[in-house]
Structure 1
Amino acid sequence: MFTSRPTVRRRALAAAGTAAALALTLAACGSSDDSSMPGMDHGAKPSTSASASTSPSTGDMPGMDHMAKGNGLSDTKDGYRLTSQDATLPAGKQAAYRFAVTVPDGKPVTGFAVDQTKRMHFYAIRSDLTGFQHIHPAMAADGAWTADLAALAPGSWRMFASFNPDSGSGKGNDFVLSRTVTVPGTATKTPLPAAATSVDIDGYTVTLKGEPMAGMAHPLTVTVTKDGKPVTDLQPYLDTYAHLTAFHEGDTAFAHLHPTTKVNGDHGGPDLSFHAELPTSGNWRLFLQFQTGGKLHTAALTLNVG
């Protein structure tokens, strides 16, 4: 039996569509007043948490409609550039990191689309994958952004900006760009903790199930419990029940994973499903943020990707 070429083409397109639906967005997000995690260390010890505003739920699968451009390790992509005069920042105290996004003619971009309730998502991570901060900076009318960072430990840091232009050649595309800064002082490297399937944070236990392979879409499940009982009161945070960010050991490559679980008011949990596609093998440090009772929690654990 022979199959017509149109039929073969339709089947190929359908298969491609199915594969694309499983691919995870490698994009970035983040609010200077609601999700900065000062002092977040490798041991995932409790860190300063602050209240975060909840957002109306769409009931869809957030984060599954964008594909970020690259792993965030460049300051330039498709004509857009992350610029900053801040090559160093002080140690041990709050600091402001000032930056802008420019187009090829050098003019700053001032129009950004809202993505997960924010126009700019910003991350800071130390080279040994400690000190994670996730914030939403403020923009001035001229396109200058200011990210108010909590105290930084000495060492090399990478600053990531994630955005979606609402006009121009990049309209409708997610970009993740980054630059490095130095925090003067004696830097002590913290060894990356071994891969683990669970971690305790603020009285909650976060358990991860799944064994992703590099470059392949793979399901991950996160379960949140407290005192051995399932947690079912997770609140929406950035239009989703959990915000999962990953950084690759060695080069700090960036990946952003969203749950596919539908949002239904303040009734999230205990299980959250993800479609993960981490591009590189090795150890990734995962930072999972979730909200209960108006308080944001951040759990950190290491995931080995084969």
Structure 2
Amino acid sequence: MGHRFLWACSLVLAVGAIALLVLPARSSSAHSERSAMPGMDHGMAGMPGAVSSGVTGMAGMPGMTTGEGLAAEHDGYRLDSRATGLPVGQAVSYPFTVMGPDGKPVTDFAEVQSERLHFYAIRSDLTGYQHLHPTMAADGTWTADLAALEPGDWRLYASFTPNTGPRKGGEFVLSRTVTVPGDANPAPLPAATDSTTVDGYTVAVRGDLTAGTAGPLTATISENGRPVTDLQPYLDSYAHLSAFHEGDQALAHLHPITRVDGDHGGPTLSFYALLGKPGNWRVYLQFQTDGRVHTAVLTLRVG
């Protein structure tokens, strides 16, 4: 009797988990109603791992965050910087501040994936990717130390979670743009593919994704035809995936749900992927071996 009861409970939990995966994303038109609820941002942003986004539905699931990050201000939080342009061809520091609903700099941030703030830079043609973890002064001023930038228009994103205030626990992605002088010479986006190589590693990505709906995505890493099983934790996980939408630079970032077990990650990492718009996304997948972070780059087509 006891065994049959436990088996029935397991079956109910399994069916419930499957149902969560197939739930359709809710329309972003419901935003105004949700925003009126204390502590809630877009969709499920009040839950751990969710971010301020025009995409709703599955953002609170473990290992997955989604976001567009195309505005400098949202729900009373604002990304401030006096810099509208940056010099070409040299390393440069970019100072910025996150202002809160009370008009004061935010200085208390929750730690997410081992950092209090994640900072991204991408050129308008989706090249030049940088993923940084800036330092913050006591007055709330952050400094992102950028590597040399090529000429063109760049979007700079800050991803953070307030640890106090009316949106405590809600993850935000805000951004501003800067111009780097010179002839930009934009690069055409490479065609969509399901595999790429970096530093001698081959990364194969599998997943049939539909815009606005969460779906399974896997990345399998091999070296010289052999499965890689010595991935090291990077940002409390075995990989970090940033994806930028062609045309408007909407941002989504994901972490695998694969359980971390020391330096024994791989070869396959599983994600719940929610990309909010159809079209091409430029994907930057970062993983670590032997103390070195590798960045695999490919174009992913979302239907």
> Does the 8 Å CA contact 1:26/1:256 hold for their aligned counterparts?
no
Q: Tell me how far apart the structure 1 counterparts of residues 125 and 263 of structure 2 sit (CA, whole Å).
A: 35
The corresponding residue for 1:296 is 293
The corresponding residue for 1:147 is 144
The corresponding residue for 2:120 is 123
The corresponding residue for 2:173 is 176
Q: Tell me how far apart the structure 2 counterparts of residues 295 and 21 of structure 1 sit (CA, whole Å).
A: 38
Please give the per-residue CA displacement for 1:21-76, whole angstroms capped at 9, x wherever unaligned.
Answer: 99895659xxxxxxxxxxxxxxxxxxxxxxxxxxxxxxxxx9717755x4100011
Q: Please provide the CA RMSD for this pair.
A: 2.5
The corresponding residue for 2:250 is 253
The corresponding residue for 1:104 is 101
The corresponding residue for 1:93 is 90
The corresponding residue for 1:64 is 62
> Does the 8 Å CA contact 1:22/1:275 hold for their aligned counterparts?
no
> Does the 8 Å CA contact 1:197/1:208 hold for their aligned counterparts?
yes
- Cα gap change, 1:198 to 1:136, in 2 (>3 Å): same
> Does the 8 Å CA contact 1:66/1:174 hold for their aligned counterparts?
no
State the AA in 2 paired with 1:130: T
Structure 1 position 244 matched with structure 2 position 246: no
Structure 1 position 271 matched with structure 2 position 273: no
Unaligned runs of 5+ in 2: 1-12, 26-43, 53-59
State the AA in 1 paired with 2:128: G
State the AA in 2 paired with 1:107: K
Q: CA deviation at 1:18?
A: 2.4
Q: Tell me how far apart the structure 2 counterparts of residues 240 and 22 of structure 1 sit (CA, whole Å).
A: 27
State the AA in 1 paired with 2:155: R
Q: Tell me how far apart the structure 1 counterparts of residues 142 and 88 of structure 2 sit (CA, whole Å).
A: 21
> Does the 8 Å CA contact 1:26/1:257 hold for their aligned counterparts?
no
What aligned pairs does 1:16-35 form with structure 2 within 5 A after superposition?
Answer: 18-19=20-21, 27=51
The corresponding residue for 2:283 is 286
Residue identity (%): 60
State the AA in 1 paired with 2:62: M
Please give the per-residue CA displacement for 1:247-283, whole angstroms capped at 9, x wherever unaligned.
Answer: 0000000001111111100000000011111010000
Structure 1 position 214 matched with structure 2 position 211: yes
Q: Tell me how far apart the structure 2 counterparts of residues 196 and 15 of structure 1 sit (CA, whole Å).
A: 30
Please give the per-residue CA displacement for 1:106-148, whole angstroms capped at 9, x wherever unaligned.
Answer: 2100110111111010000000000000000000000000000
> Does the 8 Å CA contact 2:65/2:252 hold for their aligned counterparts?
no
Q: Which has the higher contact order (CA 8 A, sep 6+)?
A: 1
> Does the 8 Å CA contact 2:246/2:279 hold for their aligned counterparts?
yes
> Does the 8 Å CA contact 1:66/1:173 hold for their aligned counterparts?
no
State the AA in 2 paired with 1:297: H
State the AA in 2 paired with 1:184: P
Q: Tell me how far apart the structure 2 counterparts of residues 15 and 236 of structure 1 sit (CA, whole Å).
A: 26
Q: Tell me how far apart the structure 2 counterparts of residues 124 and 21 of structure 1 sit (CA, whole Å).
A: 33
Q: CA deviation at 1:207?
A: 0.5
Q: Tell me how far apart the structure 2 counterparts of residues 115 and 22 of structure 1 sit (CA, whole Å).
A: 27
Q: CA deviation at 1:105?
A: 3.7
Aligned partner of residue 113 in structure 2, secondary structure:
coil
Q: Tell me how far apart the structure 2 counterparts of residues 91 and 146 of structure 1 sit (CA, whole Å).
A: 18
Q: Tell me how far apart the structure 2 counterparts of residues 167 and 178 of structure 1 sit (CA, whole Å).
A: 21
State the AA in 1 paired with 2:193: A
Unaligned runs of 5+ in 1: 1-10, 29-61
The corresponding residue for 1:190 is 187
Q: Tell me how far apart the structure 1 counterparts of residues 269 and 63 of structure 2 sit (CA, whole Å).
A: 18
Q: Tell me how far apart the structure 1 counterparts of residues 18 and 204 of structure 2 sit (CA, whole Å).
A: 32
> Does the 8 Å CA contact 1:26/1:71 hold for their aligned counterparts?
no
Q: CA deviation at 1:103?
A: 1.7
The corresponding residue for 1:55 is none
Structure 1 position 204 matched with structure 2 position 224: no
Q: Tell me how far apart the structure 2 counterparts of residues 63 and 146 of structure 1 sit (CA, whole Å).
A: 31
> Does the 8 Å CA contact 1:129/1:252 hold for their aligned counterparts?
yes
